[in-house]
Amino acid sequence: MSAATHPQPVDYYPYELTVLIPVMNEEESLRPMLDRVCDALKGLGKPWELILVDDGSTDRTLLYAREYLGREGLDLKIIEFQRNFGKAAAYQAGFDAAQGRLIVTLDGDLQNDPHDIPAMIEELEARDLDLLAGWRKARQDALVLRKIPSWCANRLIGWVTGVNIHDNGCGLKLYRSSIIKQVQIIGGMHRFIPAWVASVIPSTRIGETVVTHHPRQFGESKYGISRTFRVFLDLLSVLFFMRFKARPGHFFGMIGLVLGFLSGLIFLYLAYVKFLLGEDIGTRPLLLAGVVLFLSSMQMITTGIVAELITRSYMGSENAPLYIVRTTHRKEG
């Protein structure tokens, strides 16, 4: 979902990399996780920052995080939510605050390995990608409760969105800041970030790479795909915004035309029965069905027209650009 009010790409970034970690009640994992990040990036050779988003923790997560504010060589920023707003909001807050040319996200439960980050940066640049998603090929999770639902969800997401990656739910992802800042992550849509990114860039600029995945050592998962029906509902929203955001009239219009066609068939049949066979049709349930289908058809078509008017008014506002320029090339000299 494009975010018209979000910052546009810039040419200068004070940091080469922003590490973004959303956490909620991860007091046991926080210290070793931050130590691992610092150890993994000590050889980066370029300035980097760490943004920690505390999503309404009720334990000592925030207290432990503050201990690292004065750590030598660590540029740490802590964003504290007033209450729990969810992982999507935590990602969005981190993306908005990030000042790195590249942004890498990882979970705060020690299951992602920060030592994969340098290799991911090299691969993203070598393959000229805008998003490199981690693939937990050797996933260390329960088979029935996590692996099987995740496998089904990933196949369905790929089929619907056209973005075919193996592991949409992996928290370890590397983005170009100029691209991810054009995307707004709302609701539970953090599960579909590659699909949202594909709404502003070609899907060929999205890749994946195998990353390390460790068993969870402490606590319980807060953000996993625990309820499959939510994924299906969110996926319908993704499908609508990816395909019909700029032309909602086509979506409602197609439904209206199908309903209208069915009502037309019913009326033709009833006309044949009435005028050629001479039978009474006034009490037939089929007549009521035809009328309901006709009214529903008109409602869908008019809804599509209203949606088109709203969309065009939005697209015509100064905050909603009709296009986004990636870069401009000029002849040197």
Express as a percent the part of the chain with pLDDT over 70: 80
Tell me the C-alpha distance between 169 and 18, whole Å. Answer: 20
Does residue 136 register a pLDDT over 90? Answer: no
Question: pLDDT tens digit string along 5-45?
Answer: 444 445 679 999 999 999 999 999 999 999 999 999 999 99
Give CA angle at 46 (45, 52), nearest 5°.
115
At 54, give phi and psi (nearest 5°): -90, 110
Q: How many other CB atoms are there within 10 angstroms of residue 71's CB atom? A: 13
The predicted pLDDT at position 143 comes to 56
The predicted pLDDT at position 106 comes to 94
The predicted pLDDT at position 123 comes to 97
The predicted pLDDT at position 147 comes to 62
Q: Report the Cα 32 to chain-centroid distance in Å.
A: 28
Question: pLDDT tens digit string along 178-228?
Answer: 999 998 887 667 778 888 888 888 889 999 999 998 877 766 655 444 556
Tell me the C-alpha distance between 47 and 70, whole Å. Answer: 17
Alpha-carbon dihedral sign for residues 7, 122, 49, 87: positive
For the chain, give the secondary structure using H, E and C: CECCCCCCCCCCCCEEEEEEEEECCCHHHHHHHHHHHHHHCCCCCCCEEEEEEECCCCCCHHHHHHCCCCCCCCCEEEEECCCCCCHHHHHHHHHHHCCEEEEEECCCCCCECHHHHHHHHHHHHHCCCCEEEEECCCCCCCHHHHHHHHHHHHHHHHHHHCCCCCCCCCCCEEEEHHHHCCECCCCCHHHHHHHHHCCCCCHHHEEEEECCECCCCCCCCCCCCCCHHHHHHHHHHHHHHHHHCCCHHHHHHHHHHHHHHHHHHHHHHHHHHHHHCCCCCCCCHHHHHHHHHHHHHHHHHHHHHHHHHHHHHHHCCCCCCCCCCCCCCCCCC
Position 96 confidence tier, pLDDT thresholds 50, 70, 90? very high
Question: pLDDT tens digit string along 298-333?
Answer: 999 999 899 888 877 765 655 555 455 555 445 554
Please give the average per-residue pLDDT across 170-175, as a whole number: 94
Q: How many other CB atoms are there within 10 angstroms of residue 73's CB atom? A: 7
The predicted pLDDT at position 223 comes to 45
Closest CA to 102 of 74, 126, 132, 77: 132
Question: pLDDT tens digit string along 49-76?
Answer: 999 999 999 999 999 999 999 888 899 9
Position 4 confidence tier, pLDDT thresholds 50, 70, 90? very low
Question: pLDDT tens digit string along 242-282?
Answer: 777 778 888 899 999 999 999 999 999 999 998 998 888 88
Q: How many other CB atoms are there within 10 angstroms of residue 47's CB atom? A: 13
Ranges of each domain in the chain: 15-242, 248-315
Give this prediction's pTM: 0.74
The predicted pLDDT at position 237 comes to 74
Q: What is the CATH T-level fold of the domain 15-242, as seen in this structure?
A: Spore Coat Polysaccharide Biosynthesis Protein SpsA; Chain A (3.90.550)
Tokens of 2: 């494009």
- Answer with the residue of higher pLDDT: 169 or 97: 97
Tell me the C-alpha distance between 79 and 48, whole Å. Answer: 17
